[in-house]
A and B are shown apart, each in its own frame.
Chain A
Amino acid sequence: MDIKSFFIKRSVEIIVIFFIMMTILFLLFHFAPGDPVSMMVDPSMTSEDAQYMISQLGLDKPLLTQYLVYLKNFFQGNLGNSFYYGEPVIGIIGNRLPNTILLFTTSIIISAFAGVFLGKIAAWHKGEKIDTFGTIAALVCHTLFLPWTALIIIWVFGYKTGLFPLGGMLTPELWINPETNFLIKGIDIIYHMTLPLFTLCIIHFGSYMLIMRSSMLDVMGEDYILTAKAKGVSDKCICNHHIAPNASLPVVTSIGLSLAFSVNGGALTEIIFSWPGLGRELIFAVTNNDYPLALASFLFIAIVVLIANFIVDILYTYLDPRIKY
């Protein structure tokens, strides 16, 4: 099987998984205690509006029709109105999704690169002080409790020293002012993103580093490394060009496996740093019993995870040409 058919097979798989997920959610909403009408229709609506909503969502029809209407509505982008905001859910999602993707991808990329780099150093100096210290630090960072770490980071960098903002994504005065140019806006976002990003990287780099270290040690024992040494290749070149590329493959696999974990962490970070993303919206919606918004944010987070998984798979075939599907 070549890469093209692999690509197609994976895409089909992802679509199937997504459909199964939507079906399970639909059934859950149906068989949860409390009737679906009260869950999908805003209790504060007038009765005519409520009737309109009910017919729009097909809630007065048989189960199968309801399911089809639900699917149709989803693909038409009609996800209902949020109870809390009183606006269409799709607009809120469209607003929050880019923020989540920004934080999520940057944190994964930075922590993966940091993990690979530090793991490489630790493995190269195996048994020395730097290795012992690095491994212990990675273990400790990996097991830190994320919400608490975030609170401590806010406490230290936001409150005690006042270097960074306590939360949010933008400085409102700066954005209202029409004279602010694009560059300053970008810097403002990066400034607000520093602390959440720092938190996520501290939590995530540890596992990547430990994986990189052990896989480096595996590769170092291979015959072709000995050959390279015998040829007289410099140590630095062996480390960077012969060992590290091969050793970083398990890291890519583990990124794929830990995506769900990263999404959980992302949602927590968003809520603690008031980062206006999907995870924060989901947790808010759950707190406020805002079912349409909760359902939609969950589905979109699931889409992000599925697509990220897909990208990691493709990346893997690109990085490791030995793989045949």
Chain B
Amino acid sequence: MTKKNNNYLKDIMERLKSGMFFQYLVFLWKNPIGKCGVVLLILFGVMAVASFVPPLIDPMYHPMTGVDPDISNVTPPGFNHWLGTDYMGRDLFSQLLTGSRVAFLVGVSAAFMSMVFGTIIGMTAGYSGKILDTVLMRTADMIMIMPTLLVVLLLSSLFGQLSIWTIVLLIALFRWPGVARVIRSQTLALKERPFIDAARISGASSVRILFKHIAPNVLPMALLFMTFRVTSAIIIEAVLAFLGFGDPGTVSWGMMLQWVWKTGNMFQAPYWLFPPGICISLITLSFYMIGRAMEDMLDPRLRKEGIQD
């Protein structure tokens, strides 16, 4: 079993390095859990792309500013509005589509940023060792036990209204430790390999060794761990929006839930309450399933590190 997994691992690393993402997707497709995840994700991708269409048909379908002139209150689903409208007469279906776009934007960019931070910090800690290693890893431990959501809330009270990009940056700043730990352990193993010694003897600087020789080897692993960060980023953004600390200029699923909760339409309008929550849960599920499928292909022992979000 272990040997098989090792072969899988090598295989995936080779493919990722040679840029053959297509074959890698085929790999994912063969795993039933991965398949479910990919299908769901494609669905949300279609939603995100489709979100550009409704405002083009009629300005009243604009998710934020478009108001149906004939409607002044919450209306159930109908021919003109497939999912009904909110209390201002805005179309819920087009809001739902836009939410998918925002979720992808926030999730992927925050995950990418935390991956970059995590990789750089993990590599530095693993390669330099000694005091720097201790300091960085202790910091990581400390950030790990902090409740991210509450910290971001506190910061938003201090710094006023947060824009969507500040939220993304904050999520990334608090979500790197998990990645850093994995990358550090990878770097520790890589450090002992002969080609690093060879580079050092031929006079390469530490920075060069880190970015030219170690980075390409740990990158595939970092990319795989990105999927879990996407999940937590989407959830944190949605919760912030739900509590009223989101970017007021964007329509996200969390925002939709906040509107239905705060305007007191929760019990009267299930067609407004259900869709955004189901979408958040499903997009989380899809990234989570893809992550698990990847872990199954990689070393199952890594599961303990990646699951906590």
Residue of A whose beta carbon sits closest to that of B260:
A151
Contact with B along A268-297 (1 / 0, CB 8 A): 100100000001001101110101001100
* Residue from the set B158, B245, B284, B289 with the largest chain A CB neighbour count within 10 Å: B158
Q: Is the CB of A148 within 8 A of B280?
A: yes
Please name all residues of chain A whose beta carbon is closer than 8 Å to the beta carbon of B150 when the two chains form the complex.
263-264, 267, 279, 282, 298, 301
A260 touches B280 (CB 8 A): no
Given contacts A32-B158, A155-B266, A264-B148, A211 and B307 within 8 Å (CB-CB): yes
Interface residues on B, range: 35 or more
Cβ B142 vs Cβ A20 within 8 A? yes
Give the chain B neighbours of A140 by CB distance below 8 A: 281, 285
B71, CB-defined interface residue at 8 Å:
no
> Nearest A residue to B232 by beta-carbon distance?
A261
User: What CA separation (Å) do A102 and B155 show in the bound complex?
Assistant: 27
Q: Across the interface, do B281 and A283 meet the contact criterion of CB distance under 8 Å?
A: no
A224 contacts chain B at the CB level, 8 A cutoff: no
Q: Are A294 and B309 in contact (CB under 8 A)?
A: no
Contact A143 B145 (CB under 8 A): no
Q: Given contacts A151-B261, A264-B148, are A254 and B308 in contact (CB under 8 A)?
A: yes
- Residues in chain B near residue A263, CB distance under 8 A: 147, 150
A143 to B239, Cβ gap below 8 A?
Answer: no
| Residues of chain A lying within 8 A (CB to CB) of residue B288 | 139, 142-143
Contacts of A200-237 to chain B: CB distance below 8 A:
207, 210-211, 214
Query: Does A29 reach chain B (CB closer than 8 Å)?
Result: yes
Chain A window 146-163, contacts with chain B (Cβ cutoff 8 Å), 1 for yes, 0 for no: 111101101100010000
B303 touching A214, Cβ below 8 Å: yes
| Interfacial chain B residues near A21, Cβ < 8 Å | 142, 146
- With A145-B277, A145-B284, A261-B309 known as contacts, the answer to whether A291 contacts B157 (CB < 8 A) is yes
Contacts of A279 in B (CB 8 A): 150
Give Cα A32–Cα B162 distance, bound, in whole angstroms.
13
By beta carbon, the residue of chain B nearest A32 is B158
**Which B residues are in CB contact (< 8 Å) with A210?**
307
A306 lies within 8 A of chain B by Cβ: yes
Alpha-carbon gap, A287 to B240, bound state (A): 12
| Contact of A286 with B153 in the complex, beta carbons under 8 Å | yes
* Chain B residues within an 8 Å CB radius of A174: none
A143 and B285 contact, CB distance less than 8 A: yes
Considering only CB atoms, which chain B residue lies closest to A207 in the complex?
Answer: B307
Q: How far is the CB of A307 from chain B (nearest CB, A)?
A: 11
B276 within 8 A of A: yes
- A306 pairs with B145, CB closer than 8 A: yes
Kindly state the separation between the CA atoms of A161 and B285 in the bound complex, as whole angstroms: 29
List the B side residues contacting A159 at CB < 8 Å: 267
What is the CB-to-nearest-CB distance from A222 to chain B, in angstroms, rounded to a whole number?
14
User: Taking the nearest CB of chain B, how far is it from the CB of A103, in angstroms?
Assistant: 15
CB distance from A269 to the nearest CB of B (A): 12
List the A side residues contacting B151 at CB < 8 Å: 298
Which residues from A are CB-within-8-Å of B3? none
Q: A298 and B154 in contact (CB under 8 A), knowing A148-B281, A210-B307, A261-B308?
A: yes
Within the complex, what minimum Cβ distance (angstroms) separates B279 from chain A?
9
With contacts A143-B285, A151-B266 known, is A259 near B257, CB below 8 A?
A: no
Question: In the bound complex, how far is the Cα of B257 from the Cα of A271, in angstroms?
Answer: 14
Consensus secondary structure, chain A interface = helix
- The CA-CA distance from A119 to B126 in the complex, in Å, is 35
Say yes or no: A301-B257 contact (C-beta < 8 A), given A151-B266, A291-B157: no
Report the nearest B residue to A20, measured CB to CB: B142
User: Given A32-B158, A207-B307, does the pair A301, B147 have CB atoms closer than 8 Å?
Assistant: yes
Instruction: State in angstroms the CA–CA spacing of A305 and B151 once bound together.
Output: 13
Contact string against A for B residues 154-180, beta-carbon threshold 8 Å, 1 for contact and 0 otherwise: 111111100000000000000000000
A168: Cβ under 8 A from any B Cβ: no
Asked if B244 and A287 sit within 8 Å, CB to CB, the answer is yes
In the complex, the answer to whether B304 meets A211 with C-beta atoms within 8 Å is: yes
* Nearest opposing residue in chain A for B309, CB measure: A261
Assess whether A268 is in contact with B239, with CB atoms less than 8 Å apart: yes
CB-based contact B145/A294 at 8 Å: no
CB distance from A152 to the nearest CB of B (A): 7
- CB-CB under 8 A from B61, the residues of chain A are none
A116–B162 alpha-carbon span in the complex (Å): 40
A15 to B150, CA, bound (A): 21
Q: Which residues of A contact B274 (CB under 8 A)?
A: 152
Q: A32: which B residues are within 8 A, CB to CB?
A: 158-159
Contact A264 B267 (CB under 8 A): no
For residue A248, CB closer than 8 A to chain B, the reply is: no
CB distance from B291 to the nearest CB of A (A): 11
Q: Does B226 contact A (CB under 8 A)?
A: no
- Would A260 and B146 count as touching, CB distance under 8 A? yes
Q: Report the separation of the CA atoms of residues A155 and B272 in the bound assembly, to the nearest whole angstrom.
A: 13
Complex interface: chain B residues within 8 A of A146 (CB): 239
Pick the 10 closest A-B CB pairs, nearest first. Answer: A148-B277, A286-B157, A32-B158, A264-B149, A145-B280, A143-B285, A143-B284, A263-B147, A260-B147, A257-B308
Can you list 21 A-B pairs with a CB-CB distance of less than 8 A? A20-B142, A29-B158, A33-B160, A142-B288, A143-B231, A143-B281, A143-B285, A144-B281, A146-B239, A147-B261, A147-B277, A148-B276, A207-B308, A257-B144, A261-B308, A261-B309, A264-B148, A268-B243, A282-B153, A301-B150, A309-B145
Q: Known pairs A139-B285, A148-B277, A264-B149. 7 more at Cβ < 8 A?
A: A17-B142, A21-B146, A144-B281, A145-B281, A211-B307, A268-B239, A287-B244
Q: A residues near B, CB below 8 A?
A: 17, 20-21, 28-29, 32-33, 139-140, 142-149, 151-152, 154-155, 159, 207, 210-211, 214, 250, 253-254, 257-261, 263-264, 267-268, 271, 279, 282-283, 285-287, 289, 291, 294-295, 298, 301-302, 305-306, 309
